[in-house]
Structure 1
């Protein structure tokens, strides 16, 4: 049923009331979801590898690295400037990469949605999460979707990117939230 995960109804009557009030919405949602499942794709970045790749590919960064002073004090400040340039280039690169991955995967999905980026503590991984999306994929499109994930993973592996696809999940992220307007339903 399309309500927020963990929703608790105080009584059967409150549950029945929600079902009656939202009967048409629930029916439309179930019709839309028929033959489809949710798949999640998370992207993780090895910052050390990515920073090296970004720096090596940027002529301006390479020029600054080549022109560093022999003086330790001056060199320190020059390195700070290079680090800031790499940070900026990395942010731009990540935005472009995630856009490319999203575009490649969305062609195989009925719908897609962005999900919260999780910390390393939550993921249990040392790599930084840079991508977290849910995809509603029809059964017929599933092989193409998985092939696209594998293709994108292979294309970006050398850059320090790992893609992790999980599912199928119940399509929670593609259901209307009926509990938001229900004063007697709490989570």
Structure 2
């Protein structure tokens, strides 16, 4: 479900000055869970029901979440982190209770009628996705380069050309070794992803994260997401361990379970954190 700001004229269910932030779609939502889960404004989330489905939403004051405000706030990293954490907390709570189709960050509608209209219009697609996600979780596997675990080129003998030439030869050898190490790590990442994808219901390979985001001291070469049957998780864990042993040139890290953000759409997802103009 894409990031949108659907801000057409208000319908009768709209609270003045407030829009509707969509967190996700489920088949049914437990009232106690909704009451215990805080939305974007700190108040409990609520359900919008239509076409046999439930959209879980929260109030989104237009002063902060309206179209122009979103355009501004999505450039503010501190605001973005707070909003993402609040949205994810709701989606994670829904995911622990059963299958959920997560909405992408900043999916804002003007009123409940617009949300219900989306449930009706996309019912077949949403039902198919919920069926595919039932009994399955998203797991992440990240792979990082392990320095020194890859073959090194031999050091030059240093003969000829004096100290300056010897230094250049050493630097050239170091750069060659680094490039070779990165190539070997990249090949290992591709092999690991292929093995894991073969043991998962579905798989996605996302672009590696920058070190400033990953917090890791070495480069990330694998950022994979895998939809795994809950009953086969132990086998999947063992496979990750075996692949880590078989590929010492990269360090593997298994994370999850996560809400199925990577598998909420059959088609490639639109770029995240965008605000699309509503159709006239």
Q: Do the aligned partners of 1:109 and 1:136 also contact (CA within 8 Å) in 2?
A: yes
Q: Do the aligned partners of 1:117 and 1:132 also contact (CA within 8 Å) in 2?
A: yes
Which one has more relative contact order, counting CA pairs under 8 Å at least 6 apart? 1
2:251 is equivalent to residue 162 of structure 1: yes
Between the aligned partners of 2:207 and 2:105, the Cα distance in structure 1 is 16
Q: Match of 2:231, SS?
A: coil
2:186 is equivalent to residue 68 of structure 1: no
| Equivalent position to 2:212, from 121, 125, 128 | 121
Paired position in structure 2 for 1:9: 109
2:249 is equivalent to residue 151 of structure 1: no
Q: Do the aligned partners of 1:113 and 1:173 also contact (CA within 8 Å) in 2?
A: yes
- How many angstroms does 1:37 deviate by? 0.6
Structure 1 alignment gaps of length 5 or more? 56-60
- How many angstroms does 1:156 deviate by? 2.9
What is the aligned residue count? 173
Q: Do the aligned partners of 2:201 and 2:229 also contact (CA within 8 Å) in 1?
A: yes
2:125 is equivalent to residue 22 of structure 1: no
Between the aligned partners of 1:131 and 1:116, the Cα distance in structure 2 is 8
- How many angstroms does 1:183 deviate by? 4.8
* Greater percentage in helix: 1
The alignment yields a C-alpha RMSD, in angstroms, of 2.5
Regions of 4+ moved over 4 Å: 177-180, 182-185
Paired position in structure 1 for 2:151: 54
Q: Do the aligned partners of 2:156 and 2:173 also contact (CA within 8 Å) in 1?
A: no
